[in-house]
Structure 1
């Protein structure tokens, strides 16, 4: 199974499921719909015959979906087009993070920065990755999109951001949209962008950058242009995110609550993916 051998069996099963749904379905010959869904029965059958994913049944998959703090997955019961009686079966997909180019999951197009519930889009990364990102920008790497969170670590479990982030890159979404960059909002609240034609979100679209030092966030001087309105929006976003999580550090902060300003407008799965995620999330 995927993941670190020191991880619990539950975590390794979840990482293997994530790898299949985001990256490995084609290589493992598991049929996938254009919207990213695969039959849960196909996952279970794969688990039975594969040494990579043994001991997984329907209940295991269902529990992973229900208990995942970032709501990475979605299960639905829909007709099976291959069934002569149009029988309904269970399907599962990853909500985002795909490298399979033919997958197009349901997403809401963002036409204005105010379409983002908190009004904020921020990318968390490591100090090591930042030295390259500062020069070239954020890259989607082998994935279909660059992932951005609606808040910062410490305000609940936020889809689109790692807990281990050391650098926070705030994106000027409106400037990027005006320059022709597309943005979308996934079903579990992650802000997604394919970047430019080369798959990059260039540094010119970075609004500000902060370094996490303990419980403090320290702006990097060369990436911090004074903007009281944006600072206020950040503060409001933090309150909004706190409201989304209800003060629960394990809750998911993706409910459609707006900040005051936005109310009116509204290591790893595999070595390749590990390197991708180190630089892209």
Structure 2
């Protein structure tokens, strides 16, 4: 049975922040660099991580606590089906090749198209994004949230420090053949088009969050 962040709304202890960040780096990007094998499904044995010198001061209980208290539910824990060994996976954000993340395709026929899809960013990036669109960069997906930070039931998908929110016309993009997926912690993910881009024509509106101000109209976004 998977043990996701069932207690994720409890505040994470300050001392666990470093472990959480280190786990995120290894599971999303750096496993091979540390000589740790990451499975096709994204899972890594917890013992393999704890055996590396960078993690030797931590225990399996520390890892479980970090997973359970992570407010973004970034990780999933489960027991190996045969050996019972504890495994951990990052739910999204990978730059490494991971084929079987249990991503749920977003499709009209499934009835799972979110009412909103919002990408959080910073005002300084807006001129480039407005001209070129959203790029997945070194990651495998562009990340979107199903709402704004602070909205009910929005767990992850946008940093709380973002000062700009780009609302994406999800149905229009889907109808044009751009795939979208839902991760285990309900982040909306897309690889973009063939060039790894979500073009500006799919932007519905842009909201400046600090202070709140709508930046529409998006003249020239087409």
Tell me the TM-score normalized by structure 2.
0.86
Q: Which residue of 2 aligns with 1:40?
A: 46
Q: Which residue of 2 aligns with 1:98?
A: 94
Structure 1 segments, 4+ long, off by >4 Å, are none
Q: Offset at 1:103?
A: 4.0
For each residue in 1:211-244, what CA deviation from the matched residue of structure 2 results, as whole angstroms up to 9, or x when unmatched? Answer: 1133xx32113239xxxxxxxxxxxxxxxxxxxx
Aligned residues: 205
Mapping of 1:124-135 within 5 angstroms? 124-135=120-131
Whether contact under 8 Å (1:78, 1:88) holds in the other structure is: yes
The SS at the match of 1:115 is coil
Whether contact under 8 Å (2:49, 2:55) holds in the other structure is: no
For each residue in 1:69-99, what CA deviation from the matched residue of structure 2 results, as whole angstroms up to 9, or x when unmatched? Answer: 11100000123xxxxxx42211100011100
The SS at the match of 1:222 is coil
The SS at the match of 2:17 is helix
Q: 1:57 to 1:16 in 2, by over 3 A?
A: same
Q: Which residue of 2 aligns with 1:153?
A: 149
The SS at the match of 1:88 is coil
Between structure 1 and structure 2, the one with the greater Rg is: 1
Q: Which residue of 2 aligns with 1:233?
A: none
The partner residue of 2:180 within 180, 183, 192 is 183
Q: Does 1:218 align with 2:208?
A: no
> Take 2:178 and 2:107, find their aligned partners in 1: how far apart are those partners?
10
Whether contact under 8 Å (1:152, 1:158) holds in the other structure is: no
> Take 1:104 and 1:128, find their aligned partners in 2: how far apart are those partners?
35
Gaps of 5+ in 1: 1-6, 80-85, 225-281
> Take 1:131 and 1:65, find their aligned partners in 2: how far apart are those partners?
37
Q: Which residue of 2 aligns with 1:14?
A: 20
The SS at the match of 2:194 is coil
The partner residue of 1:206 within 203, 206, 219 is 203
Q: Does 1:142 align with 2:148?
A: no
For each residue in 1:115-165, what CA deviation from the matched residue of structure 2 results, as whole angstroms up to 9, or x when unmatched? Answer: 234x11001100111121111111110101000001112325630101011
> Take 1:146 and 1:43, find their aligned partners in 2: how far apart are those partners?
27
Q: Does 1:89 align with 2:91?
A: no
Gaps of 5+ in 2: 1-12
Q: Which has the higher helix share?
A: 1
Q: Which residue of 2 aligns with 1:75?
A: 77
> Take 2:121 and 2:68, find their aligned partners in 1: how far apart are those partners?
27
> Take 2:133 and 2:207, find their aligned partners in 1: how far apart are those partners?
15
Whether contact under 8 Å (1:122, 1:149) holds in the other structure is: yes
Tell me the TM-score normalized by structure 1.
0.69
